[in-house]
Amino acid sequence: MTARSPHSGHRRPQNRTPLIAAVAAGVLGLAIAAQAALATGSEGTAGVRALAVPRAAGEERLTATRRITGVFDGELTRFTAAATPSPKGQRVGGRDPLFELADGAVLKNVILGAPASDGVRCLGSCTLENVYWEDVGEDAAAFLGESPDAAYVVSGGGAAGAADTVFRFDGAGTLTVRNFEAVGFGELVRSCGDCAKRFRRHVVLEDVTATALGGDLAGSTPTSATPSG
């Protein structure tokens, strides 16, 4: 069971009313609370609203994954992968991420350009603050912590051009996405229901603006097993 939204082709009124949904998918171990607004707004390429990305203060190409253990402030540097870009829409594991965050790490004020490879990977609780994905690669970010107390927070920022999933939630705990904008994507949050390890997960969406939504705001792959944790 997933939180569904109206068609993204609807025009946004001056005083938009957020789409509010609450979903509990017990058998999938996924609980979703969503507050999101669908919008078209100012148009960009091919009539799709353009993602507002701050001007990059610099450029850096990464030849290997940068591992973060504390707080990393990119100061609005644009990072890209020096390797072959990740095919869009693949599952986690196909390519290396640009950034891998240890439990408790913070990544902020970063722009991920194209190619973005596998974006950001969180191995435990993490915070992504004002992180922008100009052209999502495999996934914008994957959350993989196994503690039921893990807390993943995406605050500010935005993502564009995800052929499939923006945020891949395969771990345990709670994912909160707030003050975030997603443009041109298949699904905002996807939870793994058929992975070898299954966990109970909670997803909270606060003040999320979704444009050119291709599917559901959040959902899970099917599973017949009861999650643990």
CB 117 within 8 A of CB 82: no
Distance CA 112, CA 134 (A): 6
Q: Which two tokens stand for residue 214?
A: 């291709």
For each of the domains in the chain, give its residue range(s) and CATH number, in order of start. Answer: 19-41+57-218 (2.160.20.10)
Tell me the per-residue pLDDT of 128-149, one tens digit each, with 9 for 90 and over: 999 999 999 779 999 999 999 9
pLDDT class of 66 with cuts at 50, 70, 90: very high
pLDDT at 6: 34
Tell me the per-residue pLDDT of 21-65, one tens digit each, with 9 for 90 and over: 333 333 234 555 655 555 544 444 455 568 999 999 999 999 999
Tell me the per-residue pLDDT of 142-170, one tens digit each, with 9 for 90 and over: 999 999 999 999 999 999 988 889 999 99
Helix (H, G, I), strand (E, B) or coil at 206: strand
Tell me the per-residue pLDDT of 72-85, one tens digit each, with 9 for 90 and over: 999 999 999 986 55
Tell me the per-residue pLDDT of 179-198, one tens digit each, with 9 for 90 and over: 999 998 888 998 876 676 77
The one-letter amino acid at 153: V
Tell me 28's DSSP state. Answer: G
pLDDT at 221: 56
| Sequence-distant (≥ 6) Cβ neighbours of residue 140 within 8 angstroms | 112, 116, 119, 120, 133, 159, 162, 166, 167
Query: Taking 60 as the threshold, does the pLDDT of residue 113 lie above it?
Result: yes
CB 115 within 8 A of CB 81: yes
Instruction: Give percent of the chain above pLDDT 90.
Output: 49
